[in-house]
Amino acid sequence: MAVDTPPSTRAEAEGDLAERLMRVARLLRRRGAQQLEPWDLSPHQVRALRVVEREDGPRLGRIADELRIAPRSTTDVVDALEGRGLVERYADPADRRASCVRLTDAGAALLRDVRRARATGAEELFAVLDAADRQRLADLLARVEEAADQT
């Protein structure tokens, strides 16, 4: 027979869960920023590289939308990446007044290196969980994310 949890205890447990999740997310973010130090990259720059790779030649406006930043800030991010030879701009074939962005070979290689470093960092953080627990956690988080996307 299931025991009903009093509302105050349930709220405390849910609040504790949210706090724990936020602490782990902050820990991941902090470690992620530290892992980027060897490449002198900001998290925004790495996210922009991922968008450029995934979208295969997005316009600056699309990058701004994905990063949830102002178009002017996106220009600064792309300028910095272009200055380092990680991306290049080209005229949009559908509208030559607009610019698109693509990864250079150096940008693709750097993104692979960053992914490897981050994967190693995540493995170290989650090493306290066995493979079954890691999979269960991933499945549970996916369920929460999917439910949130539907609302």
Q: Please, what are the domains in the chain? A: 34-149 (1.10.10.10)
Band of pLDDT at residue 135, cut at 50, 70 and 90:
very high
Q: Are the beta carbons of 48 and 77 closer than 8 angstroms? A: yes
Handedness of CA 47, 65, 82, 103 (dihedral sign): positive
Q: Tell me which residue has tokens 């869960």.
A: 17
pLDDT at 55: 93
Q: What is the mean pLDDT of the chain?
A: 90
Q: Could you tell me the CA-to-CA distances from 73 to 40, 56, 64, 105 in Å, in that order?
A: 18, 20, 8, 24
Mean pLDDT on 11-18: 73
Q: Rounded CA gap, 122 and 41, in Å?
A: 18
Q: Is the pLDDT assigned to residue 71 strictly greater than 60? A: yes
| The one-letter amino acid at 147 | A
State if pTM tops 0.85: no
Q: Could you tell me the CA-to-CA distances from 60 to 36, 73, 90, 97, 148 in Å, in that order?
A: 23, 10, 11, 12, 28
Nearest Cα residue to 36 out of 126, 115, 122: 115
